[in-house]
Amino acid sequence: MSRAVQIGESFVGEGVNAAHINTVLGERSGPVGTAWATALGSPSEGHVPFVAVLRPSLPVKPLTLFVTKAAPSGDEHGQLIWGPAQAGVAAGVADAVADGVIAADAVDDLALLAAVWVNPAADDADTIYANNRAATRAALSNGARALPDIADVLGARHQPTNPFYTAPPR
């Protein structure tokens, strides 16, 4: 790893099935490992972090703690979090390792926190899966490359926009 802690962000898709992922990747023996263990051992109502798996008893590496940004609003929403969103995050992490974004020989020394938004109105499992897979892979790549570039940040400062708001022109 080129940086002690790599922080990444990515938003993929549109509407209620879009994925918004924040990642924090770092050494298990450092502050990320401490945060990982603390988060796992400190669930709060509606926000129960869990280890992302590719299938039961096969966690993705680096070990990834899936942290929900939206508490499950009901059984269907919970199933979309624990099903397609989790599968997408796990596959996106594995993609990052397969593509060399995360060195395969370092995975046992790293810990990954993935903060994941699944909209309570989400309704398409396959789209949720695909968007979370792509967003996780992109967030990890962005973290590894220290993106965004400060020139892009400064260039966008006068008219910030997101799916919920666009600032008026300055």
Known catalytic residues are 20
What secondary structure letter does DSSP report for 65?
Answer: E
Maximal CA-CA distance, the chain: 53
- What is the token pair recorded at 41? 């051992």
Q: Are 150 and 24 in contact (CB under 8 A)?
A: no
**At residue 122, what is the residue type?**
A
Q: Are 97 and 104 in contact (CB under 8 A)?
A: yes
Burial of 138 (0-12, 13-18, 19+ CB in 10 A): buried
Residue 106, φ and ψ in degrees, nearest 5: -110, -5
Other beta carbons within 10 angstroms of residue 3's beta carbon come to 11
- What is the token pair recorded at 22? 């924040």
